[in-house]
A and B are shown apart, each in its own frame.
Chain A
Amino acid sequence: MTDSLKLHFTINGQEHHGEAEPRLLLVDYIRHHLGLTGSHVGCEHGVCGACTILLDGQPVRSCLMFAVQANGREIRTVESLGTPEAMHLLQEAFHAAHGLQCGFCTPGFLMTLVPYLEEHPNPSEDEIRHAISGNICRCTGYQHIVDAIVLAAQKMNA
């Protein structure tokens, strides 16, 4: 054990103060200390993308950062997107187009895609497949995920 260090950051719009041992991964802090279990832990080495969150607006792997490295930063997790009653447009599109089966990978896809669609409002199918190359889905075969993203882009532009 090493001593815990103080940390403070903003998460989903809320200021947070806490402490963590330096070796604690950010995703474990978010899940176990903050109780936000929407960010999933898949591979723990940066390959699967299930733990993707936004750090200062950019998608990053929360399994490849220590919690103490989030000091002073702004974090958004999938919990910030919508609620079951009022889903985010992207979540609605995944629902409508069957963009998920077991749903384990979905939070990572969503957090990758929120800033992507803001920057690329009208992506081609090829560009979409490139954009999601860092997220693994073992259920869908990706086709319905691509359909969902096309649908989300259409709705955003409507």
Chain B
Amino acid sequence: MKPAPFEYHAPDSLEAALALRAEHGDEAKALAGGQSLIPAMNFRIAQPALLVDLNGVDELRFIRMEGDELRIGAMTTQNTLERSELAAKHQPLLFETVPFVAHPQIRNRGTLGGSIAHADPAAELPVAAVALDARMKAQSVDGERWIPAKQFFQGFFTVDLQPNEYLTEIAFPAMPPRTGWSFMEVARRHGDYAMCGVAARVTLDGKGKCKAARLVYLNVGEGPVDAEGAAALLVGEKITPESSAAAAEKASAEISPFGSVHASPEYQTHLARVLTKRALRRAHERAQAAS
């Protein structure tokens, strides 16, 4: 239960961190909050040869508005995010999701960028990022590129980052007017990995019908599962118990839960149906309040 030896670098600038990444490529594993990586190292599931500790790179810790986008530095801790007035005001779905991440002691170290780059299928923040159509900024010594959340997540613990790139920033575009949101999950104990969870977003038109919807699920697939079919069923409809139930049924066919010692795939599917209906009701109420 002790990590294998590794070479340790603690750069104090992004430039220095990216230079190490350019020199060592995939060997240069980024150490963000360490709340997933260090447990894996303690168990020796992960044995990186070289760690680039990004905790000294202060320029990656920020929360600011650029136009109507909320821009968050990758090394911003989850604790900072859950206390951010900017996040509360401009990205309420993200703000509502953060306290579901593990425990307060973990959120004091864990970062937004670390959680997103780690891409655990059971993680909350990747799901919120997909539901909000966030964009990821990948940087290397050669420059930067922006990747839509949906393309960024490529499967089990796999993201679209090249061996010379680090994730440095996440941009959350403003939600359209008349939009409501909800994040819900079911875990055996608060802070445990959830057996299922959903981020829902509903935008209403001037007549109170659904103009656009998103339903994105956690821990029922290889990454965030975007139930596009279920969301499409809602467009043009009123959000009612009946239309929500139809969407829930459709979503239950779009997910592929693996099951675990705590929940069978059937039970996870049941949870997805129930959570879909509850989350749509809550998101709809909020969309109406915003109309």
A65 within 8 A of B: yes
* Nearest-Cβ distance from residue B180 to partner chain A, whole angstroms: 25
**In the bound complex, CA of A78 to CA of B7 (Å):** 31
Query: Quick one: CB contact mask for A47-70 with B, threshold 8 Å, 1 for yes?
Result: 001001001001111011110110
User: Do A61 and B109 touch across chains, with their CB atoms under 8 A apart?
Assistant: yes
Verify if A91 is at the interface (C-beta below 8 Å from B): no
**Residue contact A25 to B42, C-beta cutoff 8 Å:** yes
- 29 pairs, A vs B, C-beta closer than 8 Å: A22-B7, A22-B8, A23-B3, A23-B4, A23-B6, A25-B38, A25-B42, A46-B38, A46-B39, A46-B102, A49-B103, A55-B108, A58-B79, A58-B108, A59-B104, A59-B108, A60-B108, A61-B106, A64-B34, A64-B38, A64-B109, A69-B10, A112-B104, A133-B103, A133-B189, A133-B190, A134-B102, A134-B105, A134-B106
The residues in B between 34 and 62 inclusive whose CB is less than 8 angstroms from any CB of A are 34-35, 38-39, 41-43, 51, 53, 55
Interface residues as binary, B174-193 with A (CB distance below 8 Å gives 1, 0 otherwise): 00000000000000011100
A21, A59, A133: which contacts B191 (Cβ < 8 A)?
A: A133
Contact, CB under 8 Å: A61 / B105: yes
Q: Flag A1-36 by CB within 8 Å of B: 1 or 0 each.
A: 110010000000000000001110100100000000
Interface of A toward B, CB cutoff 8 Å: 1-2, 5, 21-23, 25, 28, 44-46, 49, 52, 55, 58-61, 63-66, 68-69, 71, 112, 116, 130-131, 133-134
- CB-CB under 8 A from A68, the residues of chain B are 8, 10
* A69 surroundings in chain B (CB, below 8 A): 10, 34, 53, 55
Contacts of A55 in B (CB 8 A): 108
Would A131 and B104 count as touching, CB distance under 8 A?
Answer: yes
The count of chain B contact residues (Cβ–Cβ below 8 Å) is 30
Residues of chain A with a CB closer than 8 A to B4's CB:
23
CB distance from B271 to the nearest CB of A (A): 20
* CB of B5 closer than 8 Å to a CB of A: yes
Q: Does B2 contact A (CB under 8 A)?
A: yes
Q: Which residues of B contact A66 (CB under 8 A)?
A: 8, 34, 38
Known: A5-B8, A23-B6, A45-B39. A60 touches B105 (CB 8 A): yes
Min CB–CB distance A135 → chain B (angstroms) = 8
Which residues in A have their C-beta under 8 angstroms from that of B38? 25, 46, 63-66
A106 and B119 CA atoms in complex are apart in Å by 33
CA distance A5 to B42 in the complex (A): 20
Distance between Cα atoms of A66 and B157 in the complex (Å): 23
Report yes or no: B191 in contact with A134, Cβ–Cβ below 8 A: yes
Q: Pick the contact of B109 from A28, A60, A112 — CB < 8 Å?
A: A60
CB distance from A19 to the nearest CB of B (A): 13
The answer to whether B190 touches A44, judged by C-beta atoms less than 8 angstroms apart, is: no
B41 to chain A: which residues have CB within 8 Å?
Answer: 23
> Do A65 and B109 touch (CB < 8 A)?
yes
The reply to whether the CB of B1 lies closer than 8 angstroms to some CB of chain A is yes
